Amino acid sequence: MEKNKTRKYFKYAFGEIILVVIGILIALQINNWNENRKNKITEADYYCRILDDFELNEKLIDKNYVLTTNRIKLTKELIIDLNNIPNDRSIILNKFTAALRHDVSVPSNITFEDLTSSGQLKLLTDIKLKNRLIEYSTFLNNTLNLLKENRNEVVKRYTDFELITELGYQDIEYMKKELDKEHIALLPNTNWTNDPTHPYFIKFQDNLVFILGMQIRQRQHLSNLRQELQEPIELLKDKKCK
């Protein structure tokens, strides 16, 4: 009888163990399913946020492209105006500052950078799209570095004059608003814009040609960046974020 009780006890215990194991497996499965569901939701949210970034970038690129094209046109006109003697130094310098005006808004990749820095890049399960986003991020960073280098070189050219009062910076509109006639009378009024042999005339014209080249190059970078955006945007729209 003791043996029969022991046998029944072991059967009962074994059955209990099986039930516990099955319960644990079911709980784990439910937990995994829940985690996968959360990851899918987070993944879809990232895709939509990245798409929002890209569509904003597309608008910024188009805006900067138009502004750069206008500056190219203005710089080309300025070369003609400078050589159209007699001319007005104040008009020349004000056009010059307008041609150099820089854009404040630049394309960014905030969501993807956040995804990468937080170690959540593994959430993106579409390998083709993930690789394409990585390629675009690298392309964007390289392009922004090139644009920054171009701007720095242009600023360097802009300030590369020995005497800014001789050049006539006091004639620039925002300076004239702060300076009264008494101040203006104390500053030089060199008529270098009407003397093609003057060192400032030669240097200024040379800088204009250089700046024109940088503007044309900037427009090319913006065009390439916009083209690089198109495939990721289409992939995000068609497959991940409707």
Lookup result for tokens 């502004």: 67
25-34, 40-49, 104-113: the lowest-pLDDT one: 25-34
pLDDT in tens, 101-112: 776 677 888 888
Q: Give residue limits of the domains in the chain.
A: 2-240
Sequence-distant (≥ 6) Cβ neighbours of residue 44 within 8 angstroms: 240, 241
Q: What confidence tier does 37 reach under pLDDT thresholds 50, 70, 90?
A: confident
Taking residue 169's Cβ as centre, other Cβ atoms within 10 Å add up to 15
Give the pLDDT confidence score for residue 5 in this predicted structure.
Answer: 65
Taking residue 181's Cβ as centre, other Cβ atoms within 10 Å add up to 7
Give the pLDDT confidence score for residue 55 in this predicted structure.
Answer: 92
> Which one, of 105, 124, 145, 104, lies nearest residue 51 by Cα?
124
Share the mean pLDDT of the chain: 85
- Separation CA 220–CA 35 (nearest Å): 45
Taking residue 20's Cβ as centre, other Cβ atoms within 10 Å add up to 10
Give the pLDDT confidence score for residue 14 in this predicted structure.
Answer: 72
Q: What confidence tier does 77 reach under pLDDT thresholds 50, 70, 90?
A: very high
Provide the 3-class DSSP secondary structure of residue 189: coil
Output 102 or 226, whichever has higher pLDDT: 226
Instruction: Decide if 59 contacts 223 (C-beta within 8 A).
Output: no
Output 4 or 192, whichever has higher pLDDT: 192
Q: Is the pLDDT of residue 223 over 70?
A: yes
Give the pLDDT confidence score for residue 239 in this predicted structure.
Answer: 66
What percent of the chain is predicted at pLDDT more than 90? 43
E runs forming strands in 57-153: none
Taking residue 93's Cβ as centre, other Cβ atoms within 10 Å add up to 21
Q: What confidence tier does 34 reach under pLDDT thresholds 50, 70, 90?
A: confident
Give the pLDDT confidence score for residue 3 in this predicted structure.
Answer: 54
Output 169 or 84, whichever has higher pLDDT: 84
Residue type at 3 in one-letter notation: K
pLDDT in tens, 10-21: 667 777 787 777
Among 7-11, 151-155, 208-212, which range has the highest average pLDDT?
Answer: 208-212
Give the pLDDT confidence score for residue 104 in this predicted structure.
Answer: 61
